[in-house]
Amino acid sequence: MFGRWLGNRSSRGGRSGPLSAVTVPPSAGVLSCRVLDPVNEPVRHAELSVTDTMGRKVVSGGTDPFGSFVTTVPAGEYRLAVSAEGFTPYRANVTVGEGAHASMGDVTLQVAQLPTLPESGDWDIDPMHSTIGFTARHIGLARIHGRFNTFAGAIRLAERMEDSAMHVVIDAASIDTAVKMRDDHLRSGDFLDVERFPTMEFYGDRFVHKGGNRWAITGALSLHGVTRTVTLDTEYLGVGQGIQGETRAACRATTELHRDDFTITWQTMLARGIAAVGASITIELDIQIVPKSAAEAAAA
In tens, the pLDDT along 147-168 reads 999 999 999 999 999 999 999 9
Report all structural domains of the chain as residue ranges with CATH numbers, in order of start. 2-108 (2.60.40.10), 121-299 (2.40.128.110)
pLDDT band at 21 (very low <50, low <70, confident <90, very high): low
pLDDT band at 19 (very low <50, low <70, confident <90, very high): low
Annotate 34-56 with DSSP letters as a single string: EEE-TTS-B-TT-EEEEE-TTS-
Query: Which phi-psi region, left, alpha or beta, contains residue 105 (left: φ > 0; alpha: ψ -120 to 50)?
Result: left
pLDDT at 285 (0 to 100): 97
pLDDT at 184 (0 to 100): 92
In tens, the pLDDT along 182-212 reads 899 889 988 899 999 999 999 999 999 887 7
- Using the predicted structure, report yes or no on whether residue 295 has a pLDDT greater than 80: no
- Using the predicted structure, report yes or no on whether residue 291 has a pLDDT greater than 70: yes
Rounded distance between C-alpha atoms, residue 175 and residue 7, angstroms:
63
Coil, helix or strand at residue 89? coil
- Using the predicted structure, report yes or no on whether residue 67 has a pLDDT greater than 80: yes
